[in-house]
Chain A
Amino acid sequence: MIRLVAQRATDGAAVEPRFDVELAAVTKRYDQTLAVDAISLRIPRASYCCLLGPSGCGKTSTLRMIAGHETVTDGDILIRDRNVTDLPTARRGTAMMFQNYALFPHLNCLDNVAFSLKMRGVGKAERYVRAREFLELVEMGEFALRLPAQLSGGQQQRIALARSLITEPRVLLLDEPLSALDPFLRVRMREELKRLQRELGITFIHVTHSQDEAMALADLMVVMDQGHIRQSGTPRQIFEAPASVFIARFIGGHNVLPTPRGLVAVRADRCRIGQAGNGAQFSGQVVAVEYQGPVVRVALQMQSGEQAAALLPDNTYFATPVQPGDPATLVWSEADAHPVAVS
């Protein structure tokens, strides 16, 4: 089977490094714009790390700096305890999968996958044998002689994956790998990426602007905005306790509500439509009702103009249905409300 990342002892370091990737105050400045502002991050061994954020938040710049496609303005990047900040791309132990895959259009799949071996001077017979193993790994063996233009998006992605993995990277960098696929395929490739990462036991760093994707995949989810890391942790930690209004809004599924003790975030699925009482509540008017299958989303507009929504289990909703225009009160348990910072 596939042999990946023969553990090379690095410079007499006897202790196994605890982290695959460490960023120390990494900064990227383009002329006057600060794209990445002194971010620090440690990614434990063999993790699936998702860099999540809106466009222009610095996630792609960060990924490209780790890959070595972008110079680092300030700070250091360590991969398995080795400072790679000034090393050329190919000597970092990383491999990158590009957003549009960047498969070489003039080479067939086999030659695309064998490309890195050819560059290292591996003989034709040997590199084809090895390339075929990796084509099998991504279940693309029968497409070896096709040109990239003859493949679907999902198939191209598998080839790109094989071409990256054959370099035996310690860290695989993926730049919005699923954004070009249709929704159905996206979910399937997502499972497959996670499976590959688990089986290969290497670290994947995956840049995305989709919180669904990040939640589904990440061991470590890093939410970025305006060149800063706003919060990092497991998806569950972040979803259950978003640190700021920005995080709560960006990962979705939360209401941000002004209360006497300040702004709080409450999960929409913990909110109910109920009677005015003494508990935490907001009254307003129903503005939309969306049937979503297992849940029904009821959107409310508060008297103060705030928008909020309740995700109700379908049987709860249909026991006491409401219509747009009805007055309604949003209620939640005090225990479900998390104070959030303004930005």
Chain B
Amino acid sequence: MMVGGQSYQTVGRGRPWTFYALAALFGLFLLFLYGPMLVIYILSFQGPDGGVTFPMVGTSLVWFEDILKPGQMANIPVSFGRSIALASIVSLLTVAISVAAGLAFRRRFPGSGVVFYLAVASLVMPSLLVGFGIGLGFRALDTKPSLFTSALGAQLTWTLPFGLFAMFAVVNRFNRAYEEAANDLGATAWQRLRHVTLPILLPGIIGVAMGAFTLSYDEYARTTLVIGERNTLPLEIYALISSATSPTLFAIGTITTGVSFLVIGLTLWRILRLQRRRAGAMPS
């Protein structure tokens, strides 16, 4: 916007009315995007006598304390732990498989087209049906669905194609001359992967890991039919919404958002520190 604005101003006619119209539209869009979340964050600090809507009756942290109290909310911390564990494993598997696949897809191999379209199909399939099918499959095999079997599988049908497409974009920008240079300098295939390919792709790989983690962490539709007896956080929250409503739900929302920002912040900080160390700390 700034660049365009400056070039208009040098002509000396001010900004055209379309600029203000579009800016207003964009402002509305931002409000639509962040407004509801903002409402939830504010209401999570509702006073002890307040309800789930405005006005605020004083401010307090009681709804946050409520999460940890035994009783109705008892399952929240436990299901949060389950969600984190599941998301970590999903993220790890997604990275391992999609990085390998992304590197493999750089050249055409027999069946590469089929594998590619199968991955696309998995994205297009209605999520509930995928979950339902996996549930049926487990029943047919007379196996109980559970967190780290059926739920893990159901989430991978979602995160793997995403990871693969993200890796296509990452690998596309990767110049093969780096690998040829590594060969030229005597690296074995393993050394080349370890010391050249993976480090250069690392920022993209971290992106895939975080993307897969997020997709898993708030996955609902595919997971709900195959979770078995113990719920993940989104399923637990949904159960709560349908049974009882109190600002505690908002407090959960505030905390999970806080955690997300913390994770993003830490990741960025680590990447920056890594780069600085690479640039600076060598024996001279």
Within B141-183, the residues touching A (CB, 8 Å) are 175, 177-178, 180-183
Asked if B282 contacts A145 (CB within 8 A), the reply is: yes
Asked if A108 contacts B282 (CB within 8 A), the reply is: yes
Q: Does A198 contact B (CB under 8 A)?
A: no
Scoring A residues 111 to 131 as 1 if CB is less than 8 Å from chain B, else 0, what string do you get?
100011011100000001000
Residues in chain A near residue B187, CB distance under 8 A? 90, 115, 119
Asked if A119 contacts B278 (CB within 8 A), the reply is: no
B245 CB, min distance to chain A CBs, angstroms: 51
The residue in B175, B177, B202 that gathers the most chain A C-beta atoms within 10 A of its C-beta is B177
Residues in chain A near residue B199, CB distance under 8 A? 104, 106
Q: Does A96 contact B (CB under 8 A)?
A: yes
- Chain B interface size range: 20 to 34
User: Known: A89-B184, A95-B184, A163-B185. Contact between A104 and B196, CB under 8 A?
Assistant: yes
- A164, closest chain B residue (CB): B184
Q: Does A140 contact B (CB under 8 A)?
A: no
Residues in chain B near residue A150, CB distance under 8 A? 279
A95 CB, min distance to chain B CBs, angstroms: 6
Q: Does A271 contact B (CB under 8 A)?
A: no
- A90, closest chain B residue (CB): B186
B274 CB, min distance to chain A CBs, angstroms: 9
- B203, closest chain A residue (CB): A106
Q: How far is the CA of A322 from the CA of B41 in the complex (A)?
A: 85
Asked if B177 contacts A98 (CB within 8 A), the reply is: yes
Within B170-226, the residues touching A (CB, 8 Å) are 175, 177-178, 180-188, 191, 195-196, 199-200, 202
B200 CB, min distance to chain A CBs, angstroms: 6
Q: Does B265 contact A (CB under 8 A)?
A: no
Asked if A147 contacts B279 (CB within 8 A), the reply is: yes
Residues in chain A near residue B185, CB distance under 8 A? 90, 95, 115-116, 119, 163, 167
Q: Of B180, B278, B284, which contacts A147 at CB under 8 A?
A: B278
Q: How far is the CA of A79 from the CA of B133 in the complex (A)?
A: 62
- A96, closest chain B residue (CB): B184
Q: How far is the CA of A105 from the CA of B197 in the complex (A)?
A: 11
Q: Does A102 contact B (CB under 8 A)?
A: yes
- A110, closest chain B residue (CB): B282
Q: Of B183, B195, B200, which contacts A69 at CB under 8 A?
A: B183
Asked if A119 contacts B186 (CB within 8 A), the reply is: yes
Residues in chain A near residue B182, CB distance under 8 A? 104, 115, 119
Asked if A98 contacts B180 (CB within 8 A), the reply is: yes
- A88, closest chain B residue (CB): B183
Q: Does A71 contact B (CB under 8 A)?
A: no
Q: Does B283 contact A (CB under 8 A)?
A: yes
Residues in chain A near residue B279, CB distance under 8 A? 108, 145-147, 150
B230 CB, min distance to chain A CBs, angstroms: 42
Within B246-280, the residues touching A (CB, 8 Å) are 278-280
Residues in chain B near residue A90, CB distance under 8 A? 183-187
Asked if B177 contacts A106 (CB within 8 A), the reply is: no
Q: How far is the CA of A119 from the CA of B185 in the complex (A)?
A: 8
B273 CB, min distance to chain A CBs, angstroms: 14
B67 CB, min distance to chain A CBs, angstroms: 42
B120 CB, min distance to chain A CBs, angstroms: 28
The residue in A69, A95, A111 that gathers the most chain B C-beta atoms within 10 A of its C-beta is A69
Q: How far is the CA of A165 from the CA of B186 in the complex (A)?
A: 13
Asked if B200 contacts A119 (CB within 8 A), the reply is: no
B202 CB, min distance to chain A CBs, angstroms: 8
Q: How far is the CA of A120 from the CA of B278 in the complex (A)?
A: 22
Q: Of A106, A145, A146, A167, which contacts B186 at CB under 8 A?
A: A167
User: Known: A128-B283, A147-B278. Contact between A106 and B200, CB under 8 A?
Assistant: yes
Residues in chain B near residue A100, CB distance under 8 A? 175, 177
A143 CB, min distance to chain B CBs, angstroms: 12
Scoring A residues 290 to 331 as 1 if CB is less than 8 Å from chain B, else 0, what string do you get?
000000000000000000000000000000000000000000
User: Known: A89-B184, A119-B185, A119-B187. Contact between A102 and B283, CB under 8 A?
Assistant: no
Scoring B residues 102 to 144 as 1 if CB is less than 8 Å from chain A, else 0, what string do you get?
0000000000000000000000000000000000000000000
Q: Does A144 contact B (CB under 8 A)?
A: yes
Q: Of B175, B183, B284, which contacts A144 at CB under 8 A?
A: B284
Residues in chain A near residue B282, CB distance under 8 A? 108, 110-111, 144-145
B180 CB, min distance to chain A CBs, angstroms: 5
Residues in chain B near residue A245, CB distance under 8 A? none
Residues in chain A near residue B200, CB distance under 8 A? 104-106
Within A47-89, the residues touching B (CB, 8 Å) are 67-69, 88-89
B272 CB, min distance to chain A CBs, angstroms: 14
Residues in chain B near residue A68, CB distance under 8 A? 183
Residues in chain A near residue B283, CB distance under 8 A? 128
Q: How far is the CA of A90 from the CA of B185 in the complex (A)?
A: 6
Q: How far is the CA of A105 from the CA of B184 in the complex (A)?
A: 17
Between A and B, 22 residue pairs with Cβ closer than 8 Å are A69-B184, A89-B183, A90-B187, A94-B184, A96-B181, A96-B184, A98-B177, A98-B181, A99-B177, A102-B177, A104-B196, A105-B200, A106-B202, A106-B278, A115-B182, A119-B191, A119-B195, A120-B186, A128-B283, A145-B279, A145-B284, A147-B278
- Interface residues of chain A, those whose CB is within 8 Å of chain B, are 67-69, 88-90, 94-96, 98-100, 102, 104-108, 110-111, 115-116, 118-120, 128, 144-147, 150, 163-164, 167
Given contacts A69-B184, A89-B184, 5 further A-B contacts (CB under 8 A): A95-B184, A99-B177, A116-B186, A119-B185, A119-B191
The 10 closest A-B CB pairs, nearest first, are: A116-B185, A102-B177, A90-B186, A102-B181, A89-B183, A106-B199, A119-B187, A119-B186, A98-B177, A96-B184
